[in-house]
A and B are shown apart, each in its own frame.
Chain A
């Protein structure tokens, strides 16, 4: 996870919007993933961005800027079930390895 930087924890309120940022190493970059992991469960795939721009999937959107080495995950209309860790991961083109960040633990308050 040394190539990837994301906040350790964030807190937001039910019904609100939250943006989770991720910066990564641009050298050898081939794509950017976001995964959700509830406590005690396996990670589940949320998104995969290769090109610059915003991709929307329901309440969740993911943005990528390749030139800046920056991505964010946007969660709208937050629900209590969105309390989880959100993992940013980079696909390296050199060897197809997927390198994960340490994750951002998101707490939702009622």
Chain B
């Protein structure tokens, strides 16, 4: 079974731009969560989607948004990028019936 995939793996953007990151979960997993990881703050929860609906949201500004498609693939979007948005963005998928999450390799975003 293929693991969680994320594209792109690396991205460099300029302040003020916007970015869209993509995540394809493990087949059969309908829950997709997104996290931001930085050296100072660790792994911080952004949001979780299940069956195309946002179930949970972390404490991030409205510039961070996401969506999930009918095939469970998910995208997250960050608008008006700031330098502090530079981070590793990880997505994780799981089955609806247990909480064990499988993480993708992440997208390394650098904002200059």
Could you tell me which A residues sit within 8 Å of B by CB distance?
A: 1, 31, 33, 41-45, 48, 87, 89, 91, 95-103
B58 and A97 contacting across the interface, CB-CB below 8 Å: yes
A91 and B99 contacting across the interface, CB-CB below 8 Å: yes
Could you tell me which B residues sit within 8 Å of A by CB distance?
A: 4, 33, 35, 41-45, 48, 55-56, 58, 90, 99-106
A99 to B33, CA, bound (A): 12
Q: Which B residues touch A91, using CB under 8 A?
A: 99
Contact of B102 among A45, A100, A103 (CB under 8 A): A45
A89 to B42, CA, bound (A): 11
The 3 A-B residue pairs with the shortest CB-CB distance, nearest first, are A102-B42, A42-B103, A100-B43
B105 and A100 contacting across the interface, CB-CB below 8 Å: no
Q: Which B residues touch A101, using CB under 8 A?
A: 42
Closest residue of chain A to B58, judged by CB?
A97
Contact flag A99-B99 (CB < 8 Å), given A41-B105, A42-B105, A43-B90: no
Contact of A98 among B90, B99, B105, B106 (CB under 8 A): B99
B42 and A31 contacting across the interface, CB-CB below 8 Å: no
Cβ distance B16 to chain A, nearest Cβ, rounded Å = 29
Closest residue of chain B to A30, judged by CB?
B99
Contact flag A1-B99 (CB < 8 Å), given A41-B105, A42-B90, A96-B56: no
B106 and A99 contacting across the interface, CB-CB below 8 Å: no
A103 to B99, CA, bound (A): 19
